[in-house]
C-alpha cells in the first residue's frame, strides 16, 4: 500500500520575487561601480542603472501579487514574498529619493552668477572636446522664478586682489575641487576665463563650468556659469558648485 504525500501549493510570483529583486539590486550596483571605475560615458551607465531599477520594480510587483495570493488562497510562500518586497523596496529607495529631490529643487539647467552677461563658453578645440562636442548657447534661458530663487544663493564673488592673481587663485581652487580644466584664456585687462568639467560624486556625471574674472575698482569680480548636461535631472546642484568654488577660492586667498 503506497502512502500518499500531501504537498501544499506555493505562490510562484512570491517565490520568484526575491531572486529577481537581488538581481536587480546587483545590476544597479554594477552600474554605479561602472561609473566610478569604468571609462564609459553617462548613457551606458544610465541604461544599466535603469535596467536594475526596472527589474526591482517587477520584483516588487511580483512580491505584492504573491502576498495577495497567500492572503486570499492560503498558499505557501509568504516569507519569500516578504523577502522580495523588502529587497526591492531597498533597491527602489534611491530613485524615489532622487525623484523627490528633483521635484522640489528649482531648475538649474543653466545657471550663472551674472544673468545679464554670463560667461560664454569657449569654442576652441580643447574646450569643445572637453564638453564632448557640446556648444552651449551664448546666454542662459530666461530665468523663471524658481531659477531666480536659486540664483540668489550664488552671487558674484568680489576679491581684494589683482585680476591676474584672482584668476590663478580660481584655477588652483578648481583643481583642488577635482575639476578638470579644459581651456584657459587671459584678457588684456589682466583678468581672463577658464573652463572646467566637474563630475558628480557617485555617478561621475559631468557639469560644465565657465569661470570669468574681471577687474573692478577695488580688485576683481569672479563670475561662474554652470551647465548641467541632463538638465534638472543631473545629479549635483549648480548652485552648490558655485558655492564650493567660492569657498575654495577664499581658502586659497587666505592661505
- Which residue has better confidence, 142 or 160? 160
- Which residue has better confidence, 153 or 196? 196
pLDDT confidence of 146, banded at 50, 70, 90?
very low
**Are residues 82 and 146 both part of a single domain?**
no
User: Would 92 be classed as within a structural domain?
Assistant: yes
Q: Final residue of a domain: which of 71, 104, 137?
A: 104
**Are residues 140 and 190 both part of a single domain?**
yes
User: Would 72 be classed as within a structural domain?
Assistant: yes
Number of C-beta neighbours around residue 75 at 10 A: 17
**Are residues 235 and 123 both part of a single domain?**
yes
Number of C-beta neighbours around residue 168 at 10 A: 15
Q: Final residue of a domain: which of 75, 104, 133?
A: 104
Residue 97 has pLDDT above 90, yes or no: no
pLDDT in tens, 174-192: 999 999 999 888 888 788 9
Nearest CA to 184 among 169, 175, 174, 171? 171
User: Would 7 be classed as within a structural domain?
Assistant: no
Q: How far apart are CA 81 and CA 90, in angstroms?
A: 14
Q: Answer positive or negative: Cα dihedral of 212, 119, 101, 179.
A: negative
Here the cell at position 214 is 574681471
User: Would 2 be classed as within a structural domain?
Assistant: no
Domain of residue 83, residue span: 12-104
pLDDT reported for residue 152: 52
Which DSSP helix (H) or strand (E) runs through 213?
A: strand 206-215
Backbone angles phi, psi at 132, to 5 degrees: 65, 30
User: Would 30 be classed as within a structural domain?
Assistant: yes
**Are residues 149 and 33 both part of a single domain?**
no
**Are residues 242 and 119 both part of a single domain?**
yes
**Are residues 171 and 194 both part of a single domain?**
yes
**Are residues 100 and 145 both part of a single domain?**
no
Q: What is the pTM of this model?
A: 0.76
User: Would 5 be classed as within a structural domain?
Assistant: no
Indicate the number of domains in the chain: 2
Could you identify the residue written with the cell 574646450?
127
Average pLDDT of the residues of the chain:
82
**Are residues 177 and 67 both part of a single domain?**
no
User: Would 178 be classed as within a structural domain?
Assistant: yes
Here the cell at position 105 is 529643487
**Are residues 31 and 147 both part of a single domain?**
no
**Are residues 176 and 203 both part of a single domain?**
yes
Phi-psi region of 219 (alpha: psi -120 to 50; beta: other; left: phi over 0): left
Q: Answer positive or negative: Cα dihedral of 141, 109, 223, 182.
A: negative
**Are residues 132 and 87 both part of a single domain?**
no
Q: Final residue of a domain: which of 78, 104, 130?
A: 104
pLDDT in tens, 109-137: 788 888 788 888 888 887 888 787 777 77
pLDDT reported for residue 144: 44
CATH code, 208: 3.30.310.80
Q: Which residues does residue 185 pair with via DSSP β-bridges, in sequence order?
A: 193
Note the maximum CA span of the chain: 107
Backbone angles phi, psi at 46, to 5 degrees: -60, -40
User: Would 148 be classed as within a structural domain?
Assistant: yes
Could you tell me the CA-to-CA distances from 45 to 29, 159, 204 in Å, in that order? 11, 40, 10
Highest mean pLDDT among 134-138, 231-235, 240-244: 240-244
pLDDT in tens, 31-75: 999 888 877 778 888 899 999 999 999 999 999 988 888 888 777
Contacts 24+ apart (CB under 8 A), 112-118: 112/140, 112/151, 112/223, 112/224, 112/225, 112/226, 113/151, 113/154, 113/155, 113/156, 113/157, 113/223, 113/224, 113/225, 113/242, 114/156, 114/223, 114/225, 115/140, 115/143, 115/151, 118/210, 118/223, 118/225
**Are residues 213 and 244 both part of a single domain?**
yes
Amino acid at each position: 500500500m503506497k502512502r500518499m504525500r500531501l504537498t501544499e501549493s506555493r505562490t510562484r510570483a512570491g517565490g520568484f520575487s526575491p531572486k529577481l529583486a537581488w538581481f536587480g539590486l546587483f545590476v544597479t550596483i554594477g552600474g554605479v561601480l561602472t561609473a566610478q571605475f569604468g571609462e564609459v560615458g553617462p548613457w551606458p551607465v544610465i541604461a544599466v542603472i535603469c535596467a536594475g531599477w526596472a527589474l526591482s520594480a517587477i520584483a516588487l510587483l511580483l512580491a505584492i501579487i504573491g502576498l495577495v495570493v497567500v492572503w486570499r488562497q492560503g498558499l505557501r510562500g509568504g516569507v519569500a514574498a516578504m523577502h522580495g518586497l523588502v529587497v526591492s523596496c531597498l533597491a527602489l529607495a534611491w530613485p524615489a529619493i532622487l525623484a523627490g529631490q528633483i521635484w522640489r529643487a528649482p531648475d538649474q539647467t543653466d545657471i550663472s552668477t551674472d544673468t545679464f552677461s554670463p560667461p560664454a563658453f569657449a569654442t576652441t578645440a580643447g574646450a569643445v572636446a572637453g564638453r564632448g562636442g557640446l556648444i552651449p548657447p551664448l546666454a542662459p534661458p530666461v530665468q523663471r522664478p524658481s531659477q531666480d530663487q536659486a540664483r540668489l544663493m550664488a552671487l558674484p564673488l568680489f576679491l581684494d586682489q589683482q585680476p591676474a592673481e584672482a584668476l590663478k587663485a580660481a584655477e588652483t581652487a578648481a583643481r583642488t575641487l577635482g575639476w578638470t580644466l579644459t581651456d584657459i584664456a587671459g584678457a588684456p585687462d589682466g583678468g581672463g576665463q577658464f573652463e572646467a568639467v566637474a563630475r558628480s560624486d557617485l555617478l561621475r556625471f559631468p557639469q560644465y563650468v565657465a569661470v570669468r574674472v574681471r577687474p573692478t575698482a577695488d580688485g576683481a569680480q569672479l563670475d561662474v556659469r554652470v551647465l548641467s548636461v541632463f538638465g534638472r535631472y543631473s545629479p549635483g546642484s549648480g548652485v552648490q558648485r558655485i558655492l564650493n568654488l567660492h569657498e575654495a577660492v577664499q581658502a586659497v586667498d587666505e592661505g
